[in-house]
A = this chain, B = another copy of it.
């Protein structure tokens, strides 16, 4: 699908999408140039032009892209027009924040429900999403064809929950627990380690002279 597209381009496409949909209505109805996008995101404009040309044919010299068209082209390419179900394991504050987070829909993600093992909240709803017992995950994921999961459980139970997820058919895992998860071949994990992110921001970004 991504024939002739480098991983660097693929990594940048969602950022372009993210920037374009964050523009005010008025601008979304107009045109935008690769140069303007490059400036806004602090990227090289030749690179941005190449990236956009690889997924959209709508670019016009001197005029740029019809913004709405470009949003649609990138979204289509990345599958943002799909509706992929996502489940969240761990109903602490992070988990609750995930269920309440509104930004997912624009990217074609539906947060379907939450899982926990605290009997007191099983069966309740958070932001309109039902909380199930972790033991029900396999049945739920297979029934709803879910292959994306978010782990927001404490460190000590993260690996166990991760194994339950992969057994349930989850192939993409966004992990907020600060541990390295062992997963079967073919499962992709993204570790969202907030401490690490903060460390990179406040400790190394200052050192980098670019």
Which of A's residues lie within 8 Å of B, judged by CB?
A: 1-2, 5, 7, 10-11, 13-15, 17-19, 22, 40-41, 78-80, 84, 86, 92-94, 96-98, 100-101, 103-104, 106-107, 109, 147-148, 150, 172, 174, 178-180, 188, 190, 192-210
Taken together, the copies of this chain in the complex come to 2
Query: With the chains together, A179 CA to B190 CA distance in Å?
Result: 22
Set of chain B residues within 8 Å of A97, measured between Cβ atoms? 92-94, 97
* Interface pair A103/B10, CB less than 8 Å apart: no
* Interface pair A174/B195, CB less than 8 Å apart: no
* Interface pair B201/A197, CB less than 8 Å apart: no
Query: With the chains together, A207 CA to B203 CA distance in Å?
Result: 32
Set of chain B residues within 8 Å of A19, measured between Cβ atoms? 180
Set of chain B residues within 8 Å of A193, measured between Cβ atoms? 18, 103
Set of chain B residues within 8 Å of A199, measured between Cβ atoms? 14, 17, 78, 80, 107, 109
Please give me the 6 A-B residue pairs with the lowest Cβ-Cβ distance, nearest first: A93-B97, A2-B207, A103-B195, A10-B204, A7-B208, A172-B202
